[in-house]
Amino acid sequence: MPPDPNSFPRLAPGCRLNEKSQQPRMLLMPERALRLNGPSLEIIERCDGKHTVQQIIVDLQKIYSKAEPLKVEQDILGYLTLLQNQRALDFG
Amino acid sequence: MTTELSNPLALIAELTHRCPLHCVYCSNPVEMQSRSNELSTETWARVLEEAAAAGVLQADFTGGEPLARTDIIELVHAARAAGLYVNLITSGMPMDESKLAALVEAGLDHMQLSFQGAHEEIANEISGTKSHAHKLRVLEWLKQHRIAVTLNFVIHRRNIDQLEEMLAIAESSCATRIEFANVQYYGWAFANRENLLPTREQLEHSVEFLKREQERLKGKIRIEFVVPDYYAKYPKPCMGGWGRKLMLITPSGDALPCHAAQVIPGLTFENVKDRSLREIWEKSTAFQKFRGEAWMQEPCKTCDRREQDFGGCRCQALLLAGDAAATDPVCSLAPMRPKVDAILAGMNSPPPAEIFVKPNWLYRPNPS
């Protein structure tokens, strides 16, 4: 089920970024780590409980203005769903 | 197959073999290490720094019971200071509310809490200790804190029919992950194997149930489970491959590619007191022994799956086939698979009634 556009995604307890000084940037969680590239890092940084799903989509569409906006939206929704299923995100 | 060496991703820090429980499935070696040989706080702190420098992302504090170390708070601090993600794999036993708060304060990211059953009677039988009620208390305390929580239910013939009750415990807790971990046969579990293996019928029923519940709880609780590999068609990619992703340090500082590696004769293990972690990872003969493909026998040598499962588990090959370089006998393509089939046949079609009676267990003692 795709996330509600008006919900506020937030990293789940025990799921965090590595230090800003550490490269590559990683999302660390129990028994798993995800390497974060440009778009995925932009998304995760906005999963702070203060951005709605819709705001994240709008922000990324601005940053990646050359990309097809619908594709950006679909990719973000897919990524957020994946992270929720791994229990790395909560939606408030 | 690529021959470039990757760096280790997780450091399994086996802090001690001391433990207040006596679980009959324990994967610690049957010969445990004495308290007097345990590494100091300072040495562990250095090892954690070296691990981070070598590219390790996570430290798994385990044992025995890691909370048996009086310096556990300092060790959690040291791991975070080194830039590592910190896991604690614990029975929850030597813990009170203030210790839990201190662990979280020190930067603990994730706690994996073990459960031996769904209720007192079975938990006490399996662990040889009154432990279940305390674990439930720990579950309540955890609700006050912001860390990741995984419940690890260790599954075998004596409790595989209690999955529904186990799930109920998990659902009323703050855990977001559950591992239904079927026992694997090493250490004490190997000694108690004939009393731990589930029947095929029990296993099939459990898989059906867990698949349904996994779907129901998707997005809310992540359920993970693996069948005991004696019942599988192909072997597990043990440790993600020998010397590929994981490194274990024993209480006395020996660096092993996995927790059971000491069963393999002719391997010498280097110690972190004598050499840096990175050097041991890259150069020690024990870590090099089963890297790459040159050591493989047929059918592994030319098998399509060899880059997926690496021929399975070396220690299991030693335990079941007497040869650590053999194809893991649980593999359906292994020459020794008939041996595993015979073990399973003895307890299926139909299961003899006596296998459901409470057995005489070999309990894991507490080392000196």
- Give the pLDDT confidence of B140-155 residue by residue, as tens digits: 999 999 999 999 999 9
Distance CA B66, CA B61 (A): 6
Q: Kindly indicate the confidence band of residue A86, based on its pLDDT and cuts at 50, 70 and 90.
A: very high
Read off the pLDDT of residues B241-285 as tens digits, 9 standing for 90 and up: 999 999 999 999 999 999 999 999 999 999 999 999 999 999 999
Residues in chain A within 8 Å Cβ distance of B150:
30-31
* Partner residue opposite A84 with nearest CB, options B83, B109, B219: B219
Q: Are B57 and A32 in contact (CB under 8 A)?
A: no
**Which residue is listed with tokens 């981070």?**
B52
- Long-range CB contacts (within 8 A, 24+) of B138-143: B138/B92, B138/B95, B138/B100, B138/B113, B139/B113, B139/B169, B139/B173, B139/B174, B139/B175, B141/B97, B141/B100, B142/B100, B142/B111, B142/B113, B142/B173, B142/B174, B143/B173, B143/B174
Q: Kindly indicate the confidence band of residue B368, based on its pLDDT and cuts at 50, 70 and 90.
A: confident
SS3 breakdown of chain A: % helix, strand, coil, rounded to 5? 40, 20, 40
Q: What is the number of other CB atoms lying within 10 angstroms of the CB of residue A36?
A: 18
Read off the pLDDT of residues B208-235 as tens digits, 9 standing for 90 and up: 999 999 999 999 999 999 999 999 999 9
Ramachandran quadrant class, B107 (left: phi over 0; alpha: psi -120 to 50; beta: rest):
left
Query: Has residue B78 got a pLDDT over 50?
Result: yes
- Predicted pLDDT of residue B30: 86
Distance CA B110, CA B141 (A): 14
Structure tokens at B87: 């896991």
Kindly list the distances between the CA atom of residue B200 and the CA atoms of B25, B34, B160, B347, B351, in Å, as whole numbers in the listed order. Answer: 19, 39, 11, 9, 9
Peptide bond into B299 cis (omega under 30): yes
- Predicted pLDDT of residue A8: 98
Query: Has residue B334 got a pLDDT over 50?
Result: yes
Taking alpha carbons only, the member of B147, B144, B163 closest to residue B155 is: B163
Distance CA B211, CA B167 (A): 13
Residues in chain B within 8 Å Cβ distance of A14:
109-110, 146-149
A39-53, A55-69, B23-37, B194-208: least confidently modelled range = B23-37
Q: Are B114 and B19 in contact (CB under 8 A)?
A: no
Kindly state whether B81 is in contact with chain A, defined as any CB-CB distance less than 8 angstroms. no
Residues 6+ apart with CB under 8 A from B194: B347
Residues in chain A within 8 Å Cβ distance of B87:
30-31
Query: Has residue A92 got a pLDDT over 70?
Result: yes
Q: Torsion angle, CA of B203/B209/B215/B217, rounded to 10 degrees? A: -110
* Partner residue opposite B109 with nearest CB, options A14, A22, A26: A14
Residues 2-41 of chain A with CB under 8 A from chain B are 12-16, 18-19, 22, 26, 28-31, 33
Residues in chain A within 8 Å Cβ distance of B177:
30, 87
The whole-chain average pLDDT of chain B stands at: 96
- Predicted pLDDT of residue B276: 97
* Partner residue opposite A14 with nearest CB, options B147, B218, B219: B147
User: How confident is the model over B164-177, as a mean pLDDT?
Assistant: 98
Query: Has residue A2 got a pLDDT over 90?
Result: no
Percent of chain B with pLDDT strictly greater than 90: 95
- Predicted pLDDT of residue B4: 73
Q: Kindly indicate the confidence band of residue B3, based on its pLDDT and cuts at 50, 70 and 90.
A: low
Q: For B361, which DSSP code?
A: -
Q: Are B28 and B189 in contact (CB under 8 A)?
A: no
- Predicted pLDDT of residue B345: 95
Amino acid at B327: T
Geometric angle at alpha carbon A20, from A28 and B148, rounded to 5°: 25
Q: How far apart are the first and last CA of chain B?
A: 45
Structure tokens at B45: 């702190």
User: How confident is the model over B120-133, as a mean pLDDT?
Assistant: 96
Kindly state whether B110 is in contact with chain A, defined as any CB-CB distance less than 8 angstroms. yes
pTM of the model: 0.96
Distance CA B44, CA B29 (A): 21
**Which residue is listed with tokens 């009393």?**
B195
Query: Has residue B1 got a pLDDT over 50?
Result: no
Peptide bond into B94 cis (omega under 30): no
Q: Kindly indicate the confidence band of residue A84, based on its pLDDT and cuts at 50, 70 and 90.
A: very high
User: How confident is the model over A12-28, as a mean pLDDT?
Assistant: 94
Task: Give the chain A residue whose CA is nearest to the CA of B177.
Answer: A87
